[in-house]
Amino acid sequence: MSATAPPEVLLRVRDLAVHFPLGGGLFGPRKLVRAVDGVSFDIPRGRTFGIVGESGSGKSTTALAVMRLVRLTAGSVRLGEDDIGALQGEGLRRVRRRFQMVFQDPFASLNPRKRAGDAILEALELMEVGAPDQRPELARQLFLQTGLRPEQLQLFPHQFSGGQRQRIVLARALAARPELVVCDEPVSALDVAIQAQILNLMQRLQRELGLTYLFISHDLGVIRHMCDEIGVMYLGQIVEQASRTDLFERPLHPYTLALWSAAPSFDPDTRSRRGRIRLQGDPPSPIDVPPGCRFAGRCPSAEPRCHAEPPPLREVRPGHRVACHRVSQDGVALY
């Protein structure tokens, strides 16, 4: 019997870098903010890849780079056969409908002077979805699909709750009939009970429409609920990457363990094994990146090698990669 073919990769990111220049003095060298510095990952079609990390880790900049909302300094972003990292102008506009974004603040994402239905119609027109006379009905169907009532199409954003506004933003993103939806902290501005409703809606839409998600969040509970595979980012780089089950049950990088131990007790076994890991100090500046491991200055298990030699992101178990000198080649933590 033939082996099952691996799922098709929809999004392929390789060695992505996003550096923002800072103006130097008249004679001084120009400095760079290394917001994202060599990130690679794949997302199979129909799956969800999550990126988690502290504020300033580069996860949102990664999402913006995938969406081509910030300029790529280096690396490539491919959506299927399209090299969207290299496209410009009309070429980029033509493939834009294949990938859409949902932002953190639904109120800021909507024009307060525009009715909800008009926001959906504008997206349908911009992406040239359906014939002009079909678009009002398509907008109505999108409202129903995201749990809103057709009569609400005539309301303005301030007449909706935060959860309802995020449903409008989802409906607008789906108007383009995208394959990939990039979600940047899509529920962090919502109450916990409403968060669960929106996350469950997103999972239902993924099943029904075959959507692929790149999901950015600082909330480990949300990441665990939504994602099939997860990358942990620190100071512009992925330091650990694995399936949801492997990463939450057998985390290896000291930074991952610190994040887990500081989170609400959704994983009491890990917490009881390791106890609370308290990190000292703040992350280094992305302008002045240290020469070795970027986490070494805060790591309770760092050794001299960690401060001198940057660890590669290497596979230590099937599908589980980690960038840490203190983890053996067969996936055993040596600290």
One pLDDT digit (tens) per residue for the chain, 335 residues: 445 667 899 999 999 999 998 876 566 667 899 999 999 999 999 999 999 999 999 999 999 999 999 999 999 999 999 999 999 999 999 999 999 999 988 888 899 999 999 999 999 999 999 999 999 999 999 999 999 999 999 999 999 999 999 999 999 999 999 999 999 999 998 998 999 999 999 999 999 999 999 999 999 999 999 999 999 999 999 999 999 999 999 999 999 999 988 776 555 454 444 556 777 778 889 998 999 999 999 998 999 999 999 999 999 999 999 999 999 999 998 88
Output the pLDDT for position 268.
Answer: 46
* Tokens (6 digits) for 159: 């007449």
Range 14-44 burial, b when 16+ CB lie within 10 A, else e: eebbbbbeeeeeeeeeeebebbbbbbbbebb
Query: Of 325, 246, 291, 286, which Cα lies nearest the Cα of 54?
Result: 286
- Whether 108 maps to a domain, the answer reads no
Burial class (CB in 10 A: 0-12, 13-18, 19+), 87: middle
CB atoms within 10 A of CB 204: 13
Output the pLDDT for position 59.
Answer: 97
CB atoms within 10 A of CB 135: 18
Report the number of distinct structural domains present in the chain: 1
Whether the Cβ atoms of residue 13 and residue 39 lie closer than 8 Å to each other:
yes
* Tokens (6 digits) for 241: 């990457």
**From CA 182, how far away is CA 67, in angstroms rounded?**
8
**From CA 244, how far away is CA 266, in angstroms rounded?**
14
**From CA 79, how far away is CA 63, in angstroms rounded?**
14
* Tokens (6 digits) for 165: 């506004």
- Whether 221 maps to a domain, the answer reads no
Instruction: Find all residues with CB under 8 Å of 307, minimum gap 6, and list them.
Output: 290, 291, 292, 293, 296, 297
Using DSSP, state whether 14 is helix, strand or coil: strand
- Whether 41 maps to a domain, the answer reads no
**From CA 98, how far away is CA 44, in angstroms rounded?**
15
* Tokens (6 digits) for 304: 């001299």
Instruction: Find all residues with CB under 8 Å of 256, minimum gap 6, and list them.
Output: 232, 239, 240, 247
Residue 299 sits in which domain range?
248-335
Output the pLDDT for position 28.
Answer: 61
Query: Tokens 């909330």 correspond to what residue?
Result: 219
Output the pLDDT for position 22.
Answer: 84
CB atoms within 10 A of CB 331: 15
- Whether 71 maps to a domain, the answer reads no
- Whether 43 maps to a domain, the answer reads no
- Whether 106 maps to a domain, the answer reads no
- Whether 111 maps to a domain, the answer reads no
Asked whether the whole model's pTM tops 0.85, one would answer yes
Residues constituting the chain? 335
Structure-derived torsion over alpha carbons of residues 20, 25, 27, 31, reported in degrees to the nearest 10: -20
* Tokens (6 digits) for 22: 């800072």
* Tokens (6 digits) for 197: 């409703």
**From CA 329, how far away is CA 57, in angstroms rounded?**
26
Output the pLDDT for position 244.
Answer: 96
- Whether 135 maps to a domain, the answer reads no
